[in-house]
Amino acid sequence: MPTVHKTGQALFLGLELATDQLRATIVDESLDLVGVESVEFDTELPEYQTHGGIFTNPGDAYTTPIEMWIKGLDPSILLHKHFPAHLFSLPNVPTASDTSSHTHALTIETLLGGPDHMASRVGTCASSSLVAAQLLRVRETWPQEVWARTGRVQLASAFLSSLIAGKWMGMGEAEACTTGMWVHGANVNALNLGQSAASGFWDEGVLDIVGGSREEGRRVRGWLGDVDVSGGGRRAGNVSRYLVERYGFEPGM
């Protein structure tokens, strides 16, 4: 991407983390395009040997390496060396096309009373892409050490935001609704679950199923963190000092 010199006009950076690429787009206040750049994972980061940005393993497991996302965001060794693969309890995470958690999604659905009851609680029925199903699969099929060393669970968008801000960033409510564990504030059944409908909340019943007990369910709740229910109407944070010093972002952005 060509260097964009400061002229006093505000510019806006958008990042899209797709399965096969990381794309950066800059627009001005009139939404006119200023520049676009992308990193194609297969060709520009061939050391990960992905195809379409994913690994294909036996058992319908489709995963992608987290380390590759970090290199795509900042190819320098400075950022990458602080987040080596061994720091993540799962260095390769499921993609949207992964179906290896399908039976676990059905287990959750059954325990909640079927597809209609599940949808009335968390807005969706069984799907292998649900974080709830993927976490249940980790607990039941991966070595216990993987579950034990987990301290945070984030969707890709929140993880990317955390890298940019230099701190943990919570997921938005739209993202929380895709996990299969969140009850939206507009859900008319919220009162039946013992909660106020004024704002959304994590469904303790689903958390307990995922964790296997009330204690572990509360632990999963801690991994997920708080959810931003403002609809994007508040300032979530600033660009990290590292990115300010390395790439010239204005402090306090």
pLDDT averages per 10-residue partition of the chain, 253 residues: 60 93 95 96 94 77 91 82 89 90 97 95 94 97 95 94 92 93 80 65 96 97 92 81 88 77
96: closest CA among 42, 41, 133? 133
pTM strictly above 0.85: yes
The CA distance from 177 to 129, in Å, is 12
Write down the pLDDT at residue 250.
83
What per-residue confidence (pLDDT) applies to 84?
A: 85
